[in-house]
Amino acid sequence: MTMPDHQWIDQPGQLAQVVDALTSAPWVAIDTESNSMFVYRERMCLLQINAGGRLFVIDGLALAPEAPSNALDSLKSQFERRDRPLFLHGGEYDVAVFRRDFGITLQGVWDSQQAASLLGWEKTGYGAAVERICQVVLDKAWTQYDWSSRPIAPGALQYALDDVVYLPQVGAALQAEIESHDLVEEMQIACQAVAEASWSGGFDPAGFWRIKGVRELKPHSQSVLAALWVWRDQLARNANLPPGRLINNQLLFTLARIAPTNYGLLKKLGMRGWFMSEHGQALIDCVKGASADPASLPPRPRARDVAEHEEARETRLKDWRRSEAERRQVPLQVVLPARSLEYLKQHGVTDQEIPQLGAKRLRLYGDDLRRLCS
């Protein structure tokens, strides 16, 4: 493939031309690339923009070396416009990054992956959508690329640009499909949910409870695991590396269960030589300290207690939803989105607005929902 014409933006003064293009564009398509697999403190490394056919690649690392939150302020009003579609595909992460890093709330979101899901496509990924609509097979060799690398490999840049080159065509085709299947309101509701996505990352001291098998560990082993969980995070923070790249969760679990107190045991457990050399003693000290003086564990996350009548209501709603979806030959979420189902399960039909239900579903199914929730 030939590299599409584009403008590389790495200086604040160059953003004016991006603003000009965004101002007159009838639609905009965007995508981002980050380095989350390679660092502790991830950054938006690239922002790809297709503004009505004009392509831009913004180098987030060069434009904002110290990650200032005002780096994209000049683009804020354009990204928060509601009068034109802002095409994304699987855009929850992009929305969250804009909100987290730049205080920008993306508006006019039209997420083509949501459209594919509502239409019942078996494969809803971007590559599958491009192949189905544009008859183009995208290169998948760059999915694990470190986007903080400079200079960016030509193939990686082509891959990044492809994410917005074909997105408008995919979006337009899916818009027509959504309209022809009378799913416009359902799509608006789904896209609004994407636009409201927020960042849920960051260190959670109770996160070790999510490691497989942790609840079967003996209490003293759970204390060791909790201590190692905090110790690994601090180590990763200092090295600016993802915690899992230092010690993966499976090995962390084994360390807690065995509680090694010498280098021989660490080696038998598969600890890498360089890691033992640099951090072995600190790891052993952490294990010994937690074993000798176990700290209070963070509370284990517990699911909300579900009343018996809620379980019965949920069963009725799910059975009805499945039957109605089969009758209409549509996906389950077209009939009743998961958030609507959860609300109805807990509260039934109330005077409050039911999340993600919408006027159309209420008109079609209001009587059924009242009956099922009574």
pLDDT in tens, the chain (374 residues): 689 999 999 999 999 999 999 999 999 999 999 999 999 999 999 999 999 999 999 999 999 888 788 999 999 999 999 999 999 999 999 999 999 999 999 999 999 999 999 999 999 999 999 999 999 999 999 999 999 999 999 999 999 999 999 999 999 999 999 999 999 999 999 999 999 999 988 899 999 999 999 999 999 999 999 999 999 999 999 999 999 999 999 999 999 999 999 999 999 999 999 999 999 999 999 999 999 999 899 999 887 788 899 999 999 999 999 999 999 999 999 999 999 999 999 999 998 999 999 999 999 999 999 999 98
Residue 301 maps to a domain:
no
Residue 274 maps to a domain:
yes
Pick the last residue of a domain from 233, 264, 292. 292
Q: How many domains does the chain have?
A: 3
Residue 338 maps to a domain:
yes
Does 27 share its domain with 159?
A: yes
Residue 303 maps to a domain:
no
The string over 227-265, giving b where at least 16 C-beta atoms fall within 10 Å of a residue's C-beta and e elsewhere, is bbbbbbbebbeeeeeebeebbebebbbbbbbebbeeeee
- Cα separation, 87 vs 109, in Å, equals 6
- Cα separation, 269 vs 171, in Å, equals 50
Report H helices in the chain.
Answer: 15-24, 60-63, 73-79, 92-102, 112-118, 126-134, 154-165, 167-180, 184-195, 219-239, 243-246, 249-258, 263-268, 273-292, 308-328, 332-335, 338-347, 358-373
How far out from the chain centre does Cα 126 lie? 15
Pick the last residue of a domain from 263, 292, 321. 292
The string over 23-49, giving b where at least 16 C-beta atoms fall within 10 Å of a residue's C-beta and e elsewhere, is eebebbbbbbbbbbebbbebbbbbbbb
Contact between 49 and 94 under an 8 Å Cβ cutoff? The reply is no
- Cα separation, 315 vs 255, in Å, equals 42
For the chain, state the CA radius of gyration. Answer: 25
- With CA atoms as reference, report the closest residue to 166 among 204, 130, 120, 190: 130
Does 251 share its domain with 342?
A: no
Does 286 share its domain with 330?
A: no
How far out from the chain centre does Cα 51 lie? 24
Please tell me the total number of residues recorded for the chain in this structure: 374
- Cα separation, 150 vs 152, in Å, equals 5
Residue 2 maps to a domain:
no
Residue 300 maps to a domain:
no
β-strands 28-34, 44-51 pairing: antiparallel
- Domain range for 283: 207-292
How far out from the chain centre does Cα 259 lie? 34
Q: Which residue has the tokens 């579903």?
A: 361
